[in-house]
Amino acid sequence: MINVKNISYQISKKQLLQNISFSVKSGEIVAIIGANGAGKSTLLKILCQEINPTAGQIFINNKITNNYNLGELAKLRAVLAQHNTLSMQFTVKELVTMGRYPHFKHRPQPNDVAIINQTMQETGVFEFAYRDYNTLSGGEQQRVQLARVLAQIYDSPNAFLLLDEPTNGLDLLYQQQILNTARKMANKGFGVVCILHDINLASAYADKILILKNGQNIALGSPSEVINCYNIHKAFNINVQLMPCEGFNCPLVVPSFLSA
């Protein structure tokens, strides 16, 4: 479990996050949604230990994250950043192999090679294995990066996958493919934290949704509990309508196109 307890973050006098608490269990997807500037990416950076919180603590499997060394953390959580640019030439397989670096010293072992190939298969990039990464489309590159982070934790029990807007700028097919992969990882027992802009995608794939506004938690619960007109208006300052959809565990959110 990831257990976030009373996390706050302040720069100078500006409070970016205030007393955020939630948990992520193995086998669970938690989506974080909110308007631009709500604090979503700041929260994920704290979960990744890219920045330190001003107050509060984060536990992974009942141990404070600061008490793990970098090698241990690399096997417990993997991060798919929002932007992944490369100035050097790497083949797809070389890039995915980087995800296994915490698991071997000099060269990948047979188990590592098997995992590298498996994650490329699962993300649909195996056919690009020897292509230059920079020659791929944006959607293909994102799937390669996903294969890399999956390879990092693929054989690590109780590990977590942190995704920062993984569907941003992608077409519908790639959005579905990436989130389907996240769902499969959760079904295998991994925990997933995912920042999303699309409320309906969050409702379709997440077990729990955390809604942020101005760095504060305004709602936390299952999609059916927190996705309602009141919370969406409060978070995004827009009026919406909820439409039932067969086979969907939560009503679809549709803008009403009325003034807020």
Write out pLDDT tens, residues 82-103: 766 677 889 999 999 999 999 9
β-pair partners for 11: 14
For every residue of the chain, which 3-state class applies, written as one string?
Answer: CEEEEEEEEEECCEEEEEEEEEEECCCCEEEEECCCCCCHHHHHHHHCCCCCCCEEEEEECCEEHHHCCHHHHHHHEEEECCCCCCCCCCEHHHHHHHCCHHHCCCCCCHHHHHHHHHHHHHCCCHHHCCCEHHHCCHHHHHHHHHHHHHHHHCCCCCCEEEEECCCCCCCHHHHHHHHHHHHHHHHCCCEEEEECCCHHHHHHHCCEEEEEECCEEEEEECHHHHCCHHHHHHHHCCCEEEECCCCCCCCEEEECCCCC
Quick one: pLDDT at residue 84?
A: 67
Q: Domain count of the chain?
A: 1
146 belongs to a structural domain:
no
Mean confidence (pLDDT) of the chain? 90
% of the chain residues with pLDDT over 70:
97
Quick one: pLDDT at residue 157?
A: 76
> Would you say residue 9 has pLDDT above 80?
yes
219 belongs to a structural domain:
yes
> Would you say residue 259 has pLDDT above 70?
no
Owning domain of residue 224: 2-87+154-255
> The domain that contains 247 carries what CATH number?
3.40.50.300
Quick one: pLDDT at residue 210?
A: 97
> Would you say residue 216 has pLDDT above 80?
yes
246 belongs to a structural domain:
yes
Please tell me the distance from the alpha carbon of residue 32 to that of residue 194, in angstroms, as a whole number: 6
48: exposed, middle or buried (C-beta count within 10 Å: 0-12, 13-18, 19+)?
A: middle
Mean pLDDT of 188-203: 93
Mean pLDDT of 112-134: 94
148 belongs to a structural domain:
no
Q: Give every CB contact of residue 255 below 8 A, 6+ residues apart in sequence.
A: 238, 239, 240, 241
128 belongs to a structural domain:
no
CB 163 within 8 A of CB 193: yes
Closest CA to 52 of 63, 40, 61, 65: 65
211 belongs to a structural domain:
yes
- Quickly state the pLDDT bin for 12 (edges 50, 70, 90): confident
138 belongs to a structural domain:
no
106 belongs to a structural domain:
no
